[in-house]
Amino acid sequence: MRIAIYPGTFDPVTNGHLDILQRSAAIFDQIIIAVAEDNYKKNLFSTEERLYLLEEVVKDIPNVKVEKFSGLLMKYVRTKGACAVVRGLRAVSDFEYEFQLSMMNKKLNEHVETIFLTTSSEYSFISSSMIKQVASLGGCVKGLVPNLVEQALKQKYKKKYRG
């Protein structure tokens, strides 16, 4: 059984993430989406909210499950018996950071490969931050995020403005 981990912050999950996920689910027997609990980003959605949104949007893909993790990614990968980490590359600008990350991860566990998939062109310009910025200013993010995420963003920003 070839298990791969797809790690990230997913604040929130976008159609770009789903594109990478669907394609990697066709390559591996099982994909575990690993939602980073502690990172240096100021997240809009709590860990539980990010998990819920992901679980809902991937529920029809049978070989995908969603979990949270904290601490070193490579420790988590080992506990899952995974052989690979999947990452998406949107543009050349992603490469340097991803290259560093994969090198460090290789140093920490030489038995795990990082597999890069290029994000489909229609999603290559989006990031979670950009989605949040547009949504916070009342812009339309339809088609760039799942409908459920679009609704969740509307709720968040409605509450923020009220509060």
Question: What are the catalytic residues?
Answer: 17, 41, 90, 128
Q: Applying CB under 6 A, does 126 fall inside the site for ligand COA?
A: yes
Structure tokens at 112: 């795990």
Number of residues that bind ligand COA (CB under 6 A): 23
- Applying CB under 6 A, among 27, 91, 104, 151 the residue interacting with ligand COA is 104
Question: Which of 41, 52, 11, 21 lies closest to 135 in space, CA to CA?
Answer: 11
- Applying CB under 6 A, among 44, 50, 53, 128 the residue interacting with ligand COA is 128
Contact (CB, 8 A) for 36 and 8: yes
Contact (CB, 8 A) for 44 and 10: no
Q: Which residue's CB is nearer to ligand COA, number 40 or number 162?
A: 40
Q: Applying CB under 6 A, does 50 fall inside the site for ligand COA?
A: no
Q: Applying CB under 6 A, does 12 fall inside the site for ligand COA?
A: no
Bridge partner residues of 8 (DSSP): 35
Q: Applying CB under 6 A, does 88 fall inside the site for ligand COA?
A: yes
Residue window 56-85: x/- pattern of binding to ligand COA, with contact defined by CB under 6 A? ----------------xx------------
Exposed / middle / buried, residue 97 (Cβ in 10 Å: 0-12, 13-18, 19+): exposed
Q: Which residue's CB is nearer to ligand COA, number 121 or number 162?
A: 121
Q: Least distance from C-beta 111 to ligand COA, angstroms?
A: 16
Q: Calculate the CA dihedral of residues 57, 117, 64, 69 and round it to 10 degrees.
A: -90
Which stretches of the chain are DSSP H helices? 15-25, 47-57, 73-80, 92-108, 128-136, 147-162
Residues that bind ligand COA (CB under 6 A): 7-9, 11, 14, 16-17, 20, 36, 39, 72-73, 88, 90, 101, 104-105, 119, 123, 126-129
